[in-house]
Amino acid sequence: MHIRVIIFLEIALCFGIPSIAQQRLWYKQPAQQWEEALPIGNGYLGAMIYGDVHEEEVQFNAATLWTGEPREYNKKGAYRYLDSIRALLDRGQQRKAEALAQAEFMGLKSASDDPEAWLSKVTAERENPNGAASYSFDDEGWKTIHVPAYEGWEDVGLEGIDGAVWFRTSVVLTQQDLREDWVLDLNKVREEDYTFLNGQVLGHTAGDQAKRVYRIPKEQLRVGKNVLAIQVINLSGKGGISGYKDTSQAIGLRSKQGKFISVVGQWKYWIQDSNAPSVGAYQASYQPFGSLRLRFPGADATHYSRSLDLEKGIATVAYTQNNVSFTRTYLVSAPDQVLALHLTADKQEQISFSLTMDAKHQGCRVWKVDDHTLGMQVKVKDGALQGTSSVSIKLQGGSIREQDGWLVVDKANEASIYLSAATNFENYTTLDSSYAAQAAQQHKRVQKKSFKKILECHQQDYESLFRRFSINLGGNAADALPTDERLRQFVEKDDPALVALYIQYGRYLQIASSRKGTQPANLQGIWNHLLEPSWGSKYTTNINLEMNYWPTEMLNLSELHQPLFEMIQDLSVAGANTAREYYGARGWVLHHNTDIWRGTAPINNSNHGIWPTGGAWLVRHLWEHYLYNQNPKFISSYYDIIKGATLFFKDVLVNDPKTGLLVSSPSNSPENGGLVKGPTMDHQIVRSLFSIFIQSAQLVGKDHALRDSIEQMLPQIAPNQIGRYGQLQEWMEDIDDPTNKHRHVSHLWGLHPGNEIHAETPDMFEAAKKSLLMRGDDGTGWSLAWKINFWARLNDAEHTYSMVKMLLRPAGKAGGSYPNLFDAHPPFQIDGNFGGAAGIGEMLLQSHGSYIDILPALPAALPEGDVRGFKARGNFEIAWQWQDRALKTIQVKSKAGKLLKLRYQGKTVELKTKKNKVYSFDAELNLL
């Protein structure tokens, strides 16, 4: 063993492996927006570091603070409509099938209040001749807000507001302007508007998808000032005057002759009534907890730097002020379950600041616990969950006092700040009434520790995960540039070290957002600052949740899969009720979304919400974990879940009357094409599930008769088909539109993350490529990430790299990355970070086929590299080096003693291995 290490070191030196790149993100300025802040976390507690010199905000989340409560999600007896929906689809009556399914086959929403009395109350203001709609109304005391706001008024200052809000502005017209009629174009409003001009109603529209274009008769206009007043009623979700998603397209007044007067800008507003009746929701939303706020005295700073050290798992802010160098160190510790912040200076008695906490939740309460500690209580608006947070300060030197809800520190030498947070969530069926007392005790325990000890424990824990894997792709000169500048330059200039940094950033984000004993990473990991986050920041299971865990095994973070496995366990229980009530079936099912309360029923709309293969896809994660780690006991412990998912589809697959094949019906090809029978993706996933069950049953020696039955069903499932354009068909019918650029490319699931389409199935391989070319390269962030994986599996190195370049471009209207390298859907979704990291891994090594393929899609822009600690299926841990795009050496540690099959540029080797033995090969795959 020692000899092999010595040989490797000599070879590495001979090859001229470049020096290790700096594994950090860094910036020359504080964050101005949330998407510029730096994320830290421990799987449960997450925080975003802005790093301002004078007004610091550390916005934080706890993984179990959501809206909602334990409740029934399933509509009783929905299965009674299943055959009718199927029959309508068989007859080609899609719209009727969708209408019936929407009425009878969707999940239950949470409870709603009767809005009649409230709506009657807010109507009175519209009917008041001297009210807010009137021309002469005095709005001088109203505040101002920017209009429009496509992502809702929450995005421009009215977070947490549901109810009735008035908006007023004015435009100036000439005598000439009054000679013709005009129209007012607001485009969209969330969700109901009553629009007035000069005190007279122009129109009323309900529904946030309806376009508002109102005719203005010339008789209603005035020379000079014309007053536009709009009452917006929004009972849930995002509210406000939305306008156009493309902000270059203004809202405003247009004359028949084409003159346009924009009304974009600052409007007056008045919150008439925010005590709106509650409106039921299909599923819950992830919530922010609060913010830690610090105020620092002093002049402007020089030599400013804000950084995130991926190797140590800490963030740092450093600057000079009045010839004193200040450093702030931030971390979130998993061993101690605390957010810790350490403040130092290079001179004595220089640490002075004030500190408090606050939150966006209505009724948030902050109080003094003792001379060094503040407490905060929050409760979510729509649901049963509440949380408590404590923050304490430990000083070396100096003094501390409480003043008006702030802790004030003066002239300390050092200061350590500890913040903890907890909620009353126990599990998806139970709340914990004693959580606050337990949280207080936990905080008292951590208060006793020094920052040095917390840092040591944190780094030992964090580095035990992060340092298992390393990647160096050379080209490290750009390390000297701030990360936001590198991102801008990468559009035109290659930066191999940024590609390496991105894959390590993906690993960092997973360590920070998915640890044993808490929730899986949601749509935003564990980071969210909005009360109304996009898509509820929950778990979308028709790609996004699964994508979060694509890099977990390959990048040597296997145990971080555990939160997902625990969720699958919960979903198998909750999904059994859904299987029974909706399909009259055994086993369990999950549709396209879930939340912390483990809702498994169809949600939103029947044209995309009735998709029954979410659970089957999640089963593949159990199997992948087994393939990478080769532990039969793991399969034994999850066998009943695998069996249950299989039983569901054994009961639910039906014979297609046209072809006689087994098909999935009703379903959809995720978010594209409406409610159908027989989408290609479903059949690929079910074939994978059945194969997994057969192999699992063999491993555990159970269910021989059921296994035989599934083996007989497997070839009867509708196969992949090639359409008239040479494409892989998305549906059973050959109806693919070559001009459709939809972000989902679901019918290529069998190429990735599945493995039934590969180079050894050349016709389907080429058909998949044709489909991908038809769909086009552009897309949202996670869509770009999936396409990286597709093109890597297609072994097209340069196209794969072009997709990496698109993912790592500054965020715009279609994907990219924010300055902190968060993936842009837009808005932020973390799945693109994880999918992109996995895709870069697929460029460098693939193990889904019969061989472990080395450098299968290596682009010219990455001519040299050194990767260590990469995991391959079969439980092999691999290190390899290349230069001038050619492999130089490879080392394989066989952690399970399985047959090793390597392939590189047509050369292959097969070798029986011994457990925990290391094998080294040269570029020709000769054993050294």
Q: DSSP labels for 677-740? A: S--HHHHHHHHHHHHHHHHHHHHHT--HHHHHHHHHHGGGBPPP-B-TTSPBPSSSSS---TT-
pLDDT at 12: 35
**Buried/exposed code over 726-754 (b: 16+ C-beta within 10 A; e: otherwise):** ebbbbbbeeebeeeeebbbbbbbbbbbbb
Pick from 179, 201, 39, 186: which is nearest to 135 by CA?
201
Partner residues linked to 353 by β-bridges = 409
- CA pair distance 445, 803, nearest whole angstrom: 48
Give the pLDDT confidence score for residue 17 in this predicted structure: 37
Q: Range(s) for CATH 1.50.10.10 in the chain? A: 74-104+539-719
Instruction: Pick the closest to residue 840 from 858, 819, 818, 852 (CA basis).
Output: 858
pLDDT score recorded for residue 15: 33
Fold of 116-273: Jelly Rolls (2.60.120)
Quickly count: other Cβ atoms within 10 Å of residue 698's Cβ.
Answer: 13
Residues of the chain with CATH 2.60.120.260: 116-273
> Which pLDDT score, from 0 to 100, does residue 883 have?
97
Question: For position 7, what pLDDT does the model report?
Answer: 32
Tell me, what DSSP letter sits at residue 385? -
- H runs (alpha helix) in 584-668: 614-629, 632-652
Domain 74-104+539-719 belongs in CATH node 1.50.10.10: yes
The pTM (predicted TM-score) of the whole model is 0.94
Helices and strands in the chain: count of H runs, count of E runs? 18, 44
Q: In angstroms, how far is CA 20 from the centroid of its own chain?
A: 30
Tokens of 429: 């069926």
- Rounded Cα distance between 597 and 505, Å, is 30
The arrangement of secondary structure in 22-68+284-469, i.e. its CATH architecture, is Distorted Sandwich (2.70)
Q: What is the pLDDT of residues 276-296, one digit of tens each?
A: 999 999 999 999 999 999 999
- The pLDDT value given to residue 20: 59
The predicted pLDDT at position 11 comes to 32
Burial class (CB in 10 A: 0-12, 13-18, 19+), 195: buried
Could you count the other beta carbons within 10 Å of the beta carbon of residue 549? 27
Q: Which residues contact 227 (CB under 8 A, 6 or more apart)?
A: 135, 137, 168, 169, 170, 197, 198, 199
Structure tokens at 59: 């916005």
Q: Are 351 and 369 in contact (CB under 8 A)?
A: no
Provide the β-strand partners of residue 373.
Answer: 370, 392
Give the integer Cα–Cα distance in Å for 781 and 811: 9
- State the CB neighbour count (10 A cutoff) for residue 159: 16
Please tell me whether the peptide bond between 719 and the residue prior to it is cis, using omega within 30 degrees of 0.
no
DSSP, collapsed to helix, strand or coil, labels residue 754 as coil
Measured distance between the N- and C-terminal CA atoms of the chain, rounded to whole angstroms: 12
Q: Tell how strand 852-854 and strand 900-904 pair up.
A: parallel
Q: Tokens standing for 790?
A: 């597709």
Q: What is the chain's Cα-based Rg?
A: 29
Structure tokens at 334: 């998993």
pLDDT at 5: 34
Q: What is the mean pLDDT of each run of 10 residues along the chain (928 residues)?
A: 33 38 92 98 98 98 98 98 98 98 98 94 95 96 96 90 96 95 96 96 94 96 97 94 93 94 97 94 97 95 97 98 97 98 97 97 94 97 95 97 96 98 98 96 96 98 98 91 96 96 98 97 98 95 98 98 98 98 98 98 97 98 98 98 98 96 98 97 98 98 97 98 97 94 95 97 97 94 97 98 97 91 96 98 98 98 98 98 97 98 97 97 96
CA 607 and chain centroid, separation: 23
Rounded-to-integer distance, Cα 361 and Cα 827, Å = 22
For residue 495, CA distances in Å to 232, 509, 781 come to 48, 21, 20
The pairing of strands 302-309 and 386-396 is: unpaired
pLDDT of amino acid 310:
98
CATH 2.70.98.50: which residues of the chain? 22-68+284-469
Q: How many CB atoms lie within 10 A of CB 513?
A: 30
Q: How far apart are CA 628 and CA 928, in angstroms?
A: 25
The residue whose two tokens read 């409760």 is 379
pLDDT digits (tens, 9 = 90+) for 555-578: 999 999 999 999 999 999 999 999
- Classified as helix, coil or strand, 349 is coil
Alpha-carbon distance 672 to 733, whole Å? 14
> Could you give the maximum distance between any two Cα atoms of the chain, in Å?
95
Q: Are 42 and 517 in contact (CB under 8 A)?
A: no
